[in-house]
Amino acid sequence: MLSWARISSVSLLFAALVVLPLQAQNTEQLEVGPPPRHRAEPPAPGATPEELEKRGDELREDKNYLDAVDYYQASLKHAPGNAALLNKIGICQIQLRRLNESKKTLERAIRVDHKHADAYSNLGVVYYELGVSTHQSGNFSKAIKMYDKAIALSNEYASYFNNRGAAYFATKQYERASADYATALQLDPDIFERTSRGGVQAQLPSPEERAHYDYVLAKIYAKSGEPDRSLHYLKRAMEEGYKDIKNVYKDSEFSTLRKDPRFTELMAAKTLAIPD
């Protein structure tokens, strides 16, 4: 796990639905929340840059991103050329959905330090999120370029490959996406357990694409010798109505899993698709 001081990228679900008044019983709804508010005391004038940054880290860990930005910016006044601080500010701005501000902040971090891999990766996250919100494929291509640069500088972080895999998946480059997901899994065996709920899977626009994503993960886990997780994602793919589920009988990645009685039981059950 990376420390907060060396955090890499983030790729989260942001969803808000406007809800009209309905009968309270038997409903499950999301409501638009209030805008973020300052909850912490403002930075003390006499605090050292180190104290300010540490307090910013604490606030960010508590998901108090608005106040964290204030503390990071106060610390940045003492060291305007601190790329690590700029990167942290950019992360908080992503969390606050201030994507254009984050883009400028991360570009500034890169100008300060052309070898700051995290800043490239996080800028990739910004472009990815812009692609999701605007449905413009060019943003996904820009995200891939940023991830390429991050990986060229440092190829030891699973999140870089996972993020690039998500961008490849969004542009329907499924083979490249699978290769990156496999690398991410090698670097961090639990990465998909942390990201499948709030990451790319949650942002895919249709049940068909979510089903395809789950099927890809099932293949990766099967090839990695993790039958439990493979069966879990295979069932999810079936529930989402994956149209090419019969490929499970010919894809080589499932050759060992096909000998597992649980596989036979799952396929015999013919799990019905769950309506979206």
207 pLDDT tier (thresholds 50, 70, 90): confident
Q: What is the pLDDT of residues 150-204, one digit of tens each?
A: 999 999 999 999 999 999 999 999 999 999 999 999 999 988 887 654 444 446 6
**How would you write 96-147 as a 3-class SS string?**
CCCHHHHHHHHHHHHHHCCCCHHHHHHHHHHHHHHHHHHCCHHHHHHHHHHH
Residue 52 resides in a domain: yes
The residue that leads in pLDDT, 40 or 153, is 153
Q: What is the pLDDT of residues 68-102, one digit of tens each?
A: 999 999 999 998 889 999 999 999 999 999 999 99
Count other Cβ atoms within 10 Å, centred on residue 49.
15
pLDDT of residue 204: 67
Residue 212 resides in a domain: no
Q: For residue 20, is pLDDT > 50?
A: no
205 pLDDT tier (thresholds 50, 70, 90): low
Q: What is the pLDDT of residues 222-265, one digit of tens each?
A: 999 999 999 999 999 999 899 999 999 999 999 999 999 999 99
Q: For residue 109, is pLDDT > 50?
A: yes
Residue 75 resides in a domain: yes
Residue 48 resides in a domain: yes
- Domain hosting 81: range is 38-98
pLDDT of residue 42: 86
Residue 237 resides in a domain: no
206 pLDDT tier (thresholds 50, 70, 90): confident
| Residue for token pair 């690398």 | 183
Q: What is the pLDDT of residues 111-129, one digit of tens each?
A: 999 999 999 999 999 999 9
pLDDT of residue 104: 97
The residue that leads in pLDDT, 67 or 31, is 67
270 pLDDT tier (thresholds 50, 70, 90): confident
Which pairs from 247-253 meet CB under 8 Å and 24+ separation? 251/219, 253/219, 253/220, 253/222, 253/223
1 pLDDT tier (thresholds 50, 70, 90): very low
pTM: 0.78
32 pLDDT tier (thresholds 50, 70, 90): low
18 pLDDT tier (thresholds 50, 70, 90): very low
Residue 80 resides in a domain: yes
Mean pLDDT of 52-63: 95
pLDDT > 70: what percent of the chain? 81
Tell me the CA end-to-end span of the chain in Å, nearest whole number.
Answer: 34
Q: What is the mean pLDDT of the chain?
A: 85
Q: How many separate domains does the chain show? A: 1
Residue 169 resides in a domain: no
CA 179 to centroid of chain Cα atoms = 17
The residue that leads in pLDDT, 137 or 156, is 156
Residue 74 resides in a domain: yes
